[in-house]
Amino acid sequence: MRHVIFQVEKERYGLPLEAVREVFSPPTVFSRVPAAPPPIRGVINLRGRVVTVVDLRMLLGLPDGATKSEKIILLDQGRRDLGLLVSEVEGIESLEKISPSPGRTTPAVRGVARLRRSAITILDIEGINGAVTALFPKRITG
């Protein structure tokens, strides 16, 4: 199965290729969303579509780092446009075997795979969607 391989800080991650619509450089400024939680960097206009941009480092609970976020991975989610802000995109690779993740796991992590002697954390699209949805408290209507 082919995966898009990318970095968040120094950690390497992968997403199934069919879940990714495109990769592009972020704008210099994001439109802020009032009262949005910290992982939501804001929204951008991409060819007439409003894209919510999430800082993947913050969503995954990784510590602050010195690496600048250089790319946005736009997920192919149908009607909802969600972009993940990452440090670098390395390319597309075929990964044969994905094993369960050892140690602490989150719903956003599907497992780990080996690529040229290094480990790649494979993310789960449904888990990422769930983590983003969980950032927003449910509104109570009366």
Helices (H) and strands (E) in the chain, counts: 2, 10
**CATH code assigned to 2-134:** 2.40.50.180
Asked whether residue 139 carries a pLDDT value surpassing 80, the answer given is no
Q: Which of 3, 68, 19 is nearest to 41 (CA)?
A: 68
Residue 134 has a pLDDT of 86
Domain boundaries, the chain: 2-134
Does 141 or 132 have the greater pLDDT score?
132
The enclosing H or E element of 119 equals strand 118-123
Asked whether residue 43 carries a pLDDT value surpassing 60, the answer given is yes
Burial 55-71, CB ≥16 within 10 A → b, else e: bbbbbbeeeeeeeebeb
Report yes or no on whether pTM surpasses 0.75.
yes
